Chain A
Amino acid sequence: MLPAEQALILAAILFVTGVIGVIVRRNLIFVLMSVEIMFNAAGLAFVAGSALHGQPDGQIFFIFILPVAAAEVAIGLALAVLVFQKYRTLDLWTIARSREE
C-alpha cells in the first residue's frame, strides 16, 4: 500500500477522534480543540490526495485551510471568552441548562 493511502487512513482516524471529542467533551475549549483536530485531518487528507495524484492542488487547498482555521479559532475563542464572562463557566451542559430556565 502506498504511504499516501495510509495517510488517508490516518486522516480518517484523526477526524473520527475529533468528532468523538466534539461529542463527548463538555468543556468549550476542548470542543474548539477537537474542531481544530478535524480541520487538521481534512488538511492531511488533501495533502495525501495531492501526493497520490502528483498534483500541487491538494497542497494549495491545505494553504487555504490555514486562514480559515485561524479565523475560526479567533472568533470561537472570542465567543468562549464572552460565554465565560456571562455564565462564569465553560461547561456546555451547565450553560444549556441555565439557558432553558
Chain B
Amino acid sequence: MNNLLIFYPAAVVAVITTLMVILTRNPVYAVIYLILSLCGVALVFFSLGAPFLAALEVIVYAGAIIVLFLFVVMMLNIGRVMNEQDCLRPSRKQMILPGFLVIVLLVETLMCLFAAAPVNPAASSISTKALGQALYGKHYLGVLLSALVLLIGAIGGIHLGRASSCPDTKERSIHAPR
C-alpha cells in the first residue's frame, strides 16, 4: 500500500510537468519543468523497486543531460525575447503550480526517508548487487558498446564544435590587419 502512496502523486506530477514542457513558451521554464518531470519519474522508479535507477535518473538525466540543454539555451540566448514579454521575474501566479508540484515531490521524498518501516518499496525489488552482477556478467558486451557510443558522441560533439568555430577564425584572420 505504501508504494502506491508514493506512485500516484509522483505519476501525476510527472504527467503535469511533462505537459507543461510541451506547453510553455519560455525554454528556460521548459527545462526546469523537465527536471521536475524527471524527478517525478525517479520517484516512480523508487516505488517500482529500483532505488539505484532512481538515483541514476536524478544524477545523470536531471544533473547532466538537462543541464546541457540549459547551457545551450543560455548560450544561444533564445529566451531573451520571451523574457522581455513577461518581465524577468516570474509573477506570483506563475509560481503557484511549480511550487505546489515541488512540495508534493519533497513531501514524498521525506516520506520515503523517514518511513517507520525500512524502505523496501516493492515485493519484487531487485537488489543493486544483483543488478551489478548481471550488468558486468551477462551484459558486459553492452557495457563495452555503451562506452563506444559515449566515445562516438564525444568525438561528434568535438567535430561539430570545431566545424562551427572554423569559419569564424578564418573570417577573423581575413579581417585581421597583416
> A-side interface residues toward B, CB under 8 Å?
3-4, 6-7, 10, 13-14, 17-18, 20-21, 24-25, 27, 29-30, 32-34, 36-37, 40, 44, 47-48, 50-51, 54-57, 59-60, 62-64, 66-75, 77-82, 84-85, 90
Give the CA-CA distance A72 to B69 in the complex, in Å. Answer: 12
> B-side interface residues toward A, CB under 8 Å?
3-4, 7, 11, 14-15, 18-19, 21-22, 27, 30-31, 34, 37-38, 41, 44-45, 47-50, 52-53, 56, 60-61, 64-66, 68-69, 72-73, 75-76, 78, 122, 124, 126, 130-131, 134-135, 138-139, 142, 145-147, 149-150, 152-154, 156-157, 160-161, 163-164
Which residues in A have their C-beta under 8 angstroms from that of B30? 30, 33
Contact A73 B68 (CB under 8 A): yes
Query: Chain B interface secondary structure, helix, strand, loop or mixed?
Result: helix
Give the CA-CA distance A59 to B127 in the complex, in Å. Answer: 11
> A32-B69, A37-B18, A47-B53 known; A60 and B156 CB under 8 Å?
no
Contact of B48 among A4, A68, A85 (CB under 8 A): A4
Which residues in B have their C-beta under 8 angstroms from that of A33? 21, 30-31, 34, 69
